[in-house]
Structure 1
């Protein structure tokens, strides 16, 4: 079935379901307002999954539908808030980081870091794959997965063009390692992927647990650190890279050499970026005690201010970052999606829909908590192959919060499990833009993507509950 046909069906089905759910006899235990919130929620989930309308635009539909269906209005009657959630604080973390990311790209700092890792890691096929994984995973911690993939794929393709047919396995391993590493690396930090800020916002509003930059490092970084070497070994064995002779990486070395010495813009970008990283990591431990109202968003906006204020060439009025560069690099789609997710999640909770759904699922009470979290991870990892991970998180987390509280399982564990597993989109192009970009190179087939991705998905599903319970909640004691 073609994508356009799926969108048409999704459009019709979504509207019909909203009307049926919103105006049928009100189910027992649910208010009329809750019933209509549920209808709009189902419409948005169907539209998100089928992309019946562009995902960010779907996130704006509550502005139209909530007042029309009597759910809320500009003044927030019925206690269901609307407009304020589109300006949720985490949105401005993405805005501030956009200026830092734009500065990196403007001056080529991201290329210097990535090419430096690849060109210096060695020319053995196994270490070459490791070089690509480390370079992309590291860059994906600080910029979008898609940008990290687009940046490194040309390097991989240039090296691949020098290899003969006997090195098909290595060529495929290089190309596939890039989108996979971008996904895995993006888990490590709050700003590494859209999923993280979306989920963090929903967790705070749903169960009152605040997660800052350092807190997320305790959650995401251990997973990335554990999974990267397993991923490397798996890719080397799957494509039999360990049995291949040394390869020529002179292209990567030449590109790195051509960059020349660091320019003034690169140096200032690196200084500001490292300064912000230090502030993010130390806020809750050190300086946040003296500035209790400062947040991660404060640090991000400080970074944005510095790159806009520091001159590279004062006489010509050139600064580290200009407004156009910074503005264009802000992930506006993610900002709007996050706002729409917060509107839906809060309405789901405030209208009593989350509690109603939780009561329906109360029969799960008594099942082993770890098993439930694993089941959540498996279901999420399947669905995330068909739509973007941020959409899965936006749709699932409000429900999981209520279900966890109703059945006596840690809502935080269930919600984090969903957030982590939503990134295990390794098998199909629609799962994540990096997958689609890598598939579009023509170097890999759908069979390569599905068979290799399945193995990595299984490894990830085995690893995530162990890391979550024994490292995040065990060693670090991170619990609700």
Structure 2
């Protein structure tokens, strides 16, 4: 949890205005305003317009110190006032405890000696010992009332009932009341209740106990007040030093914060001593001198107080947070994933409520959810109609191929329209394969498999070495991100870029490409956008440099998705359809030159269209000052060794068999040593894994049914006489257009198996070349905001001051479409030559 949220949730509600104004100091103007003033200082100082408290635009340290001094004075004044008030209450309580002890002793000494009759024994324990924490809770009340005292409106009546119960069992094992005589126990209770002196003493004890608990709670709140404010000063100074590259924290803490009265060691020692003293008092009054039991009961009282007194505040604040998150992120229907504007969802309290509508039908009027009337439902209806028509119309000669064609069209339409989540469609694949009897035996005469055999066949196709390679990539990405290795490397490179706009733009694009190679092109743009935040904050809202940076990182991340086999899921789909699968070295030989040259050409395109250098002042990125720890060196070494083994996987095939087996090494090392935890494992993109597994199963089923071979023959007849180069250009153009409108991974799942089969059936077979060209074009499709995760991330970036998005759809059409065409040209020229040299 962020400290700003922790401060809100843990602050005493009545004292909320007296804590450090952490958010105001950090976000709402101070630090970021000083950053802008430092980087955009006017040539001639304007004392009237300068917001700096010192009157000088240069001395931001002094200005920030003045702001902190005001907060420190506010906190110190309030603390001294509350401390005086609470310590006064403490003195009163301690004085009354002494009086109460004397009265209890006098009462016990005044009891007559024990005799044979109905005489009461002298009490040797606290009369409040039976009172347990939690009297407010209904369970405690019911427990007491279960013995005949049903008054639930008064805490004192509840405690009196508990006391009556406990007194009926007072005494040792030799006590006459331990004999089974209900009459004597009733008589004792009746006699105690009619003892006026005992009743008065008891009432005083109950009142005193409540006062002790109240003062204990106040002292703990006072201690929390000190701790939260101390942490607030430390964190806001750390933020100031990081943003402005200063070293103010240690000096200010030592010179101003620690000498302040609330933060002096003597103050905290005195407060802790009083808390311990109150625990001793509670023990003497309530728990027969048992300090551990007293401490436990007081903490239960404190916890009850926090839950009882602040539950409403917490719920309100959490409700606000949820509503804000819903407004910013967009509520999505749990089934259709629709936006609330389309799904007609609304927030009622903290819950998402789906609106309903009454409709008239020939059978009567019915109420149904509004989302059932959205275009998504009609899309699903059309898709199912097409599916059943394809099942009924005799298009293919073999029934298994007819069913497989219907299934392929059905699944492809669901993927393309995203009528239901992509991974849910993938989960449908094995179900449809088995029910429609699509799979045939691998041996001739290729008889259709029964349901049991087909189930084993298709599920084995969903878990392959490619899935293990994907998991290995996720593991490396998680380790590099969790331990800030990727961020440290990225900031180090960007810190060398200087302040020239064109250099900063080119460096940012190459950093995004490199990050996409190892932590995926989903996480890479998020990382890069967080690193360039200082640049974005110090640029004018309508600056073309901001647009060029965001667009450049997005386009470079898309292209970086082709740079390594683990950079994106479509690359793993390609490896599954390539036989033999190329090693990492071969992949780098083809992909890296294409990526580098494409990024340079796109950089020139952005310079020509945005002209980011005009009137732009760049704030230099500072490298992280933290040194590489032993853990970070170890993670880096394991990553480098794993990548090295992947690069020479063909040479080590007799040892490891497949790259998927090598992927087990980082998983075992990182999870086995505790570097990554089960929470990290659970946070993997399992929807991507299921999507890839479903695509692999679909490709296996289409190939097994014979449909893929039949479609390849039909396409080859249409492409009769076309050369290998012409075939690659045609498929690359087709995939580029389709992948622009649908997910890159989905495009690969649909087209790459077909491309592989076409290449296999050519007179001069080059299936790997066509598959490699096709997968490169999947990553190159970036003409729309929805064309890939990097584009979707970029268009959601907003100016923190104005709340307006930096990029619009027109920016992707005018820059993304030309960038896609540039990459297409590079792939079909340079890429084709490299693939022929690599013997694809």
> After TM superposition, is the score higher than 0.5?
yes
What is the aligned residue count? 452
**Given the alignment of the two structures, is residue 44 of structure 1 paired with residue 411 of structure 2, yes or no?**
yes
Counterpart position of 1:340: 694
1:125 aligns with 2:125: no
| Gap change, CA 1:96 and 1:226, over 3 Å in 2 | same
Quickly say closer, same or farther: Cα 1:391–1:100, change in 2 above 3 A.
same
Aligned position for 2:385: 16
Rounded to whole Å, the distance in 2 between the matches of 1:184 and 1:115 is 21
Query: Take 1:42 and 1:416, find their aligned partners in 2: how far apart are those partners?
Result: 24
Report the counterpart of residue 427 of structure 1 in structure 2.
783
Q: 1:179 maps to which residue?
A: 554
1:32 has 2:399 as partner: yes
Cα distance in structure 1, aligned partners of 2:796 and 2:536: 15
Is 2:436 the partner of 1:82? Answer: no
The one of 400, 414, 429 equivalent to 1:62 is 429
Instruction: Find out whether 1:411 has 2:767 as its counterpart.
Output: yes
- Give a deviation string over 1:430-462, Cα, whole Å, max 9, x none: 211210111111101111111011111111111
Aligned residue in 1 for 2:646 = 280
Match of 1:147 among 510, 518, 523: 523
Q: Is 2:512 the partner of 1:104? A: no
- TM value normalised by structure 1: 0.88
SS of 1:180's partner is helix
SS in 1 for 2:786: helix
Higher Rg of the two aligned structures: 2
User: For the residues of structure 1 that align with 2:533 and 2:807, how far apart are their CA atoms?
Assistant: 12
Contact persistence 2:755–2:770 (CA under 8 A) = yes
Shift of 1:49: 0.4
1:151-205, Cα deviation, whole Å (9 max, x unpaired): 111333431221125x72111011111111111112111001111001211x13x
Relative to the length of structure 2, the TM-score reads 0.51
Q: Deviations over 1:310-368 (max 9, x none)?
A: 4xxxxxxxx3222221342x332222122111111111111111122123221311023
- 1:300 is aligned to 663
Aligned-partner Cα distance in 2 for 1:305–1:47: 37
| Counterparts of residues 51-450 of structure 1 (less than 5 Å) | 51-72=418-439, 75-77=452-454, 81-164=457-540, 168-201=543-576, 203-204=577-578, 208-249=579-620, 252-253=621-622, 256-257=623-624, 259-285=625-651, 288=652, 291-310=654-673, 319-328=674-683, 330-361=684-715, 362-408=717-763, 410-441=766-797, 442-450=805-813
Give the C-alpha shift of residue 406 in structure 1: 4.1
Question: Deviation of residue 370 (structure 1)?
Answer: 1.7
Residue 228 of structure 1: how far off its partner (Å): 2.3
Corresponding residue of 2:257: none
Q: Give per-residue Cα distances to partners, 1:274-332, cap 9 Å, x unaligned.
A: 121222223334xx16x44432222221112222344xxxxxxxx3222221342x332
Residue 313 of structure 1 is matched in structure 2 by none
> Structure 2 CA distance, aligned partners of 1:215 and 1:80?
34
The residue that corresponds to 2:185 in the other structure is none
Instruction: State the alpha-carbon separation in 2 of the partners of residues 454 and 71 from structure 1.
Output: 39
Aligned match of 2:835: 472
Stretch deviating more after TM superposition (35-44 or 425-434): 425-434
Displacement after TM superposition at 1:396 (Å): 0.9
The Cα of 1:218 is off from its aligned counterpart by 2.6
1:296 and 1:164 map into 2 onto residues whose CA distance is 48
- Following the alignment from structure 1 to structure 2, what is the Cα–Cα distance between the partners of residues 419 and 356? 23
Structure 1: distance between partners of 2:613 and 2:535: 17
Structure with a larger share of its residues in helix? 1
Q: Single out whichever of 343-352 and 360-369 deviates more from structure 2.
A: 360-369
- Aligned to 1:427, the other structure's residue is in SS state coil
Contact 2:476/2:519, CA 8 A, preserved across alignment: no
Q: Distance in 2 between matches of 1:336 and 1:240?
A: 43
With CA pairs under 8 Å and 6+ residues apart, which has the higher RCO, 1 or 2? Answer: 1
CA-CA distance at 1:265 after TM superposition: 2.7
CA distance in structure 2 between the partners assigned to 1:473 and 1:305 by the alignment = 38
Identify the residue that residue 233 of structure 2 maps to in structure 1.
Answer: none
User: 1: distance between equivalents of 2:604 and 2:574?
Assistant: 30
* Stretch of structure 1 that moved more, 92-101 or 30-39: 92-101
Whole-angstrom CA distance in 2 between matches of 1:214 and 1:246? 41
Look up the SS of the partner of 2:495 in the other structure: helix
Q: Which secondary structure does the structure 2 equivalent of 1:142 belong to?
A: helix
CA contact (8 A) 2:411 2:425 kept: yes
Q: Return the offset for 1:38.
A: 1.0
- Aligned-partner Cα distance in 2 for 1:306–1:152: 28
Say which SS state the counterpart of residue 423 (structure 1) adopts: helix
Most deviating of 68-77 and 47-56: 68-77
- Structure 1 position 210, deviation (Å): 2.1
Task: Indicate the residue corresponding to 1:314 in structure 2.
Answer: none
Q: Is the 8 A contact 2:435 2:451 kept in 1?
A: no
| Conserved? CA contact 1:373–1:414, under 8 Å | yes
